[in-house]
Amino acid sequence: MKNPKEPKNAPFEIDGITVQPGSRAKVELPLAQLYTQTPLNVPIHVIHGRKPGPVFMVSAAIHGDELNGVEIIRRLLRHSALKNLSGTLLAVPVVNVFGFIHKSRYLPDRRDLNRCFPGSETGSLGARMAWQFKTQVLDRATHAVDLHTGAIHRDNLPQIRANLSNDDTSAMANAFGVPVVINSVLGEGTLREVAEAQGIPVITYEAGEALRFDESCIRAGVKGVLNVMHHLGMTGSRRTKAPAEPYIARSSSWVRAERDGVFLSLVALGAWIKKGDLIGRISSPFGGDDINIHAPAAGILVGRNNLPLVNEGEALYHIARFEEVGEVAQSLEEFTHDIEEGPTLSGEPPIV
């Protein structure tokens, strides 16, 4: 007796272009123009599997200076796991093309595109871009991962930020496979807020610093996106070991500078710090006493300012607090070793 035939996928249409099952296409979504009337398009890579499944969106550079996600998507698109895909992958390596061109987080009018959602057809440049991206891309997705880095001069430990009150979102956060997960509120006007409001579970991967490539952060990102795709049933059998259960931070906060001066950091990103530990100093370039910076609580350092010149009130350290901070530190050590010593997944030489 013959087995029933596997269900076949239907053609996928986006911005008037039809992508047949078992094929891929690059769609150029028109968003705006430069002063010279040169058109600016957002490239969308569509990989449409032969079998039905989720429509999974991966986006990067919604802040135009956050580059790790661009490289994560480039490597993802070359990965062999996409050859036998169930469902559809929508990969958008650069959402904010204006910011990307100018090496800037912002749009030309200094608006943050990730505060402009859901946008409108007749609003500001940011509102129009957000509206176009939402209606043409985000609304087509069933699940999403948004790739970010820290801001300029700020470095983030690889971490997932997500609304963990949503079961599907929480499951994706666990599947991604980084040790640190922060239960993050949905910021007003963000892609994540709009997606969750219309039932699309989305997680944010934060890792590294703006305008810099970080090989470990990129490797962890590629691996994490593939882990989520496996969790959603989009790819076949896993070729690497299943990710360890992550640790959820019960809270996090920034330590700020008490005065202006030269910031000297004494702890590395990812460090396990105890309450009262000396973690840094602020000195004056013209002499005088230093101000010591002590940890206000025990936790893991998940974010750090890399710029030595600081003003009073400036954010210096981002500390996440956990119930079992020692276990988190051990998990981070193992995770870092696995990422740094493991293969690049794409088979390419590492960035140094």
Same domain, 174 and 291: no
The torsion region of residue 183 among left (phi > 0), alpha (psi -120 to 50) and beta comes to beta
Same domain, 145 and 43: yes
Same domain, 261 and 237: no
pLDDT for position 345:
74
Same domain, 149 and 236: yes
Same domain, 75 and 150: yes
Give the structural domain span for 153. Answer: 12-247
* pLDDT tens digits along 135-186: 999 999 999 999 999 999 999 999 999 999 999 999 999 999 999 999 998 8
The pairs formed by 192-199 with CB atoms below 8 angstroms and a separation of 24 or more are 192/146, 192/163, 193/117, 194/117, 194/118, 194/134, 194/138, 195/138, 195/141, 195/144, 196/163, 196/166, 196/169, 198/139
- Cis preceding linkage at 118, omega within 30: yes
Mean pLDDT, rounded, for 323-329: 94
Same domain, 188 and 303: no
Q: How far is CA 179 from the centre of its chain?
A: 15
Same domain, 263 and 204: no
- Asked if residue 137 is part of any domain, the answer here is yes
pLDDT for position 242:
79
Rounded Cα distance, 169 and 187, in Å:
16
Of the residues 215, 247, 279, which one is the last residue of a structural domain? Answer: 247
Number of domains in the chain: 2
- Asked if residue 309 is part of any domain, the answer here is yes
Q: How far is CA 313 from the centre of its chain?
A: 27
Same domain, 272 and 297: yes
- Asked if residue 327 is part of any domain, the answer here is no
- Asked if residue 228 is part of any domain, the answer here is yes
- Asked if residue 345 is part of any domain, the answer here is no
State the CB neighbour count (10 A cutoff) for residue 352.
5
Same domain, 61 and 132: yes
Q: What would you report as the CA-atom Rg of the chain, rounded to the nearest whole angstrom?
A: 21
Same domain, 80 and 165: yes
Q: What percent of the chain has pLDDT over 90?
A: 88
Same domain, 137 and 257: no
Same domain, 61 and 153: yes
Rounded Cα distance, 148 and 152, in Å:
12
Distances (CA, A) of 289 to 65, 282, 284: 37, 9, 8
* pLDDT tens digits along 178-205: 999 999 988 999 999 999 999 999 999 9
Q: Residue 79: CB partners within 8 Å, gap ≥ 6? A: 222, 226, 345, 346
Q: What percent of the chain has pLDDT over 70?
A: 97
Tokens 């050859």, residue located: 83
**98 HSE (CA, 13 A, CB side):** 19
- Asked if residue 332 is part of any domain, the answer here is no
* pLDDT tens digits along 208-242: 999 999 999 999 999 999 999 999 999 987 656 77
Task: Note the pTM of the prediction, 2 decimals.
Answer: 0.95
Read off the CATH number of the domain in which 285 is found: 2.40.50.100
Read off the CATH number of the domain in which 184 is found: 3.40.630.10
